[in-house]
Structure 1
């Protein structure tokens, strides 16, 4: 659904994006994770050509946006919804007026606008609030208005720029749940910018981790979890680093109740000490990471772990 290739963006002598490639599959929630200054918001604005990249191409739904100008680009942008960090609502307009605004720009007749606005407000849980003004709403309600407005033109893609960073934890969870529901029910592809690992863990199917204007690693959550040395795994499960020499870190997916550790102790001449670990429930399913120390026939035990599908990493 979204394909960016070789994106560079310069602001004078400052390199904001340095050869970024991005691949977002249709119907998924793809997170772009990084700290301030990593280039993630610049990347988002390049995806809908609010910022034109210095070099590289951006293709959305099979259309090369970097080849478009003027009206053609504006029409292509109508298929891309944008959710802003600080809501970006028009204070002089009602809730219904804010949601209707992009429909007015698109020239949708009034009766159809009113029907669509009512439908969207019901979808985001704000039925009956259309006559209110933004000042009468909580932060979470304002963001729901922003989401409804982003959906007004039936986009195939939603871009979310730190949509929950201005919200409290409980409201953040409700907004993330709404985005996940919209992704499931409408099939809309979501590109989500965040600096919070908790957001990635809650809703993302795949992720790109950025630093210094570059993508350090990317892929589906499930694939990265199974990749030796993946930064994503270390950040989801922040075990003490560096790992003690000779210690073994086991990463596993699927049912955490499988008695893999006890099998090894029973079957092989080993003693096992647990040094740390955790289990997280991710959109791809439960994932666990366990650090252990083994004494005895370690080679046979490690072979058994690998045969059972665990990622095994031995600290040097």
Structure 2
């Protein structure tokens, strides 16, 4: 809470985090999206205290990490798994050896390590690759090894640092599906950072947009999409600009129970012109967004009617 991180470089101060408040609910997938230099990676490294914040507190699973040090901090970190952008696998070790590595460091007995590694490789779909080396794997397979290794110590929290940015679109989808499955089957809490809005749309329950070391907006994805002026909605649904008069943007979740546009023309005698729109699956729900020109003497009554039907109605300008 209230995280600030200041780096001192060549005699000057660089503010990387500027009062960030982040709360991730147990069992959810929270995505932080932003461009390079926004502060995303610094935030993630502060969460597991690879970087100590200049100000603020970090609490994970009830433990205040910023109050810990030494052996107590190392023990707390075992409850936090980390998946890296470029895999960070040991090239000289087999797949099984890479997954076993954190267990070796923790002093887990050999037989227990072997059983746990087999369980994890089966979980991520790589049971047949145990004896392969990283150079023999595809990018998606390498990332699955990285995920298995991150889960070795049975963490409750998984941090993902741009885990799909080095992958092709099809492989990205398979890795995101794996993360969602692990979230559901293991009750795993996942905090991921990304520069891709499609990642937020596909698997995140909550999200924050970050720029210049601060959150521009944050909350549950479906709530943000239903909020007037939402940056997230504009990013996920980039509707074309228009100079047409009397344009409104309509946002709705789920499938409307009735044909609202035709109902408006009958009930309020207004003219309707749909200028553009899209329907997307977001957080496992259908979300639609339309740019609609509505004209007529009873236009305001028609807008009130749409609002009463649960649609977010935003008047252009």
10, 30, 33: which is aligned to 2:6? Answer: 10
1:74 matched residue in structure 2: 74
1:298 matched residue in structure 2: 299
Separation of aligned partners in 2, 1:156 and 1:38 = 27
Q: Is the 8 A contact 1:38 1:212 kept in 2?
A: yes
SS of structure 1 residue aligned to 2:2: strand
Per the TM alignment, residue 173 of structure 1 is displaced from its structure 2 partner at its CA by: 0.4
Report how many aligned residue pairs link the two structures.
312
Query: Which stretches of structure 1, 4 residues or longer, exceed 4 Å deviation after superposition?
Result: 242-245
1:315 matched residue in structure 2: 316
Per the TM alignment, residue 36 of structure 1 is displaced from its structure 2 partner at its CA by: 0.1
Per the TM alignment, residue 263 of structure 1 is displaced from its structure 2 partner at its CA by: 1.3
Q: How does 1:102-121 map to 2 (within 5 A)?
A: 102-121=102-121
Which deviates further from its counterpart, 258-267 or 284-293?
258-267
Separation of aligned partners in 2, 1:184 and 1:73 = 28
1:148 matched residue in structure 2: 148
Q: How does 1:84-95 map to 2 (within 5 A)?
A: 84-95=84-95
Gap change, CA 1:133 and 1:257, over 3 Å in 2: farther
Separation of aligned partners in 2, 1:211 and 1:242 = 27
1:214 matched residue in structure 2: 214
The C-alpha deviation readout for 1:94-116, integer Å capped at 9, x for no partner, is: 10010001111111111000000
Q: Is the 8 A contact 2:245 2:293 kept in 1?
A: no
Separation of aligned partners in 1, 2:147 and 2:260 = 44
1:281 matched residue in structure 2: 281
SS of structure 2 residue aligned to 1:56: coil
2:165 matched residue in structure 1: 165
Q: Is the 8 A contact 1:256 1:286 kept in 2?
A: no
Per the TM alignment, residue 241 of structure 1 is displaced from its structure 2 partner at its CA by: 3.8
Q: Is the 8 A contact 1:222 1:284 kept in 2?
A: no
Separation of aligned partners in 1, 2:16 and 2:243 = 34
Separation of aligned partners in 1, 2:208 and 2:249 = 23
Q: Is the 8 A contact 1:121 1:127 kept in 2?
A: yes
Give the TM-score normalised by structure 2. Answer: 0.96
Gapped regions of structure 1 (runs ≥ 5): none
The C-alpha deviation readout for 1:148-179, integer Å capped at 9, x for no partner, is: 00000000000000000000011000000000
Separation of aligned partners in 2, 1:261 and 1:122 = 50
Q: Is the 8 A contact 1:256 1:288 kept in 2?
A: no
Gap change, CA 1:215 and 1:136, over 3 Å in 2: same
Give the TM-score normalised by structure 1. Answer: 0.97
Per the TM alignment, residue 245 of structure 1 is displaced from its structure 2 partner at its CA by: 4.7
Gapped regions of structure 2 (runs ≥ 5): none
2:122 matched residue in structure 1: 122
